[in-house]
Structure 1
Amino acid sequence: KWIIIDEVIPLLHSIPSREPAVLMAILGIIKVAMTSTKSGGIPREILATRVIPFLVPISIETSLNLNQFNAYMSTIKDMLQTVEIEQRKKLEQLSQQAANAPIVPIGPSTKDMSFDQKSTSMVSSQKI
């Protein structure tokens, strides 16, 4: 997985050619990396920050024909869906953890507070 992230993706970024065959090879390599069961695919963070921003400008290269453009769009949509599903799952987990976490009061407790009878303000009996 880390070889893909640390070596392959930066290598693909460095390819200067914008010939359709090269662009389709880039797309093919990324698709294999996404579906690789050994590596667990490309993490959502990498898809969102490095792969999708790299592929979108390539997808509008004028050298691509309609079928090639459609292949790029299909892959980008799949990546966006992966990011959406994984991020939603992560946020749901965090939400459940927050709901199950004990509530910890912040600041002085009410036992450390006294009320001034002449005013409506609270005065802390703790020394700061």
Structure 2
Amino acid sequence: FFDPGSHGSTFGGNPVSVSAAEAVLKEIFQSGFLKETVKKAEYLESELAKALNGIEEVKEIRGLGMMVGIECKQDVQVFLMELQEEGLLVLSAGPKVLRLLPSLNVSESEIDTAINKIKKVLAIKQTV
């Protein structure tokens, strides 16, 4: 059994949500969609590693597919707010990890924009 608030659902089971889920599945299973997503995930990982190389605040970059964690040396709450001010919504995964979870249909250009904003925010903290 789950306690209240311990389990969530993206598509919840109501008719509108089931229709949305069906539309998502149709897109995901289009020819080449998932192969393209794998390429974008590899691009995200490699470009992020290049961009954040040498930034002392970054302890580790890890991930699986499009789900990426950037472990920092300090609490990331300040980074979350600064990234939001830059127009990038990022979550945390614990107190010291920035969590990236972009849409599967994100473009390389959008990935580049996000990486530049992350680098800007993390590099500023390095000089403070």
TM-score, normalising length: structure 1: 0.27
More strand by share: 2
Which structure has the larger Rg over C-alpha atoms?
1
Larger RCO of the pair (alpha carbons < 8 Å, separation 6+): 2
Tell me the TM-score normalized by structure 2: 0.27
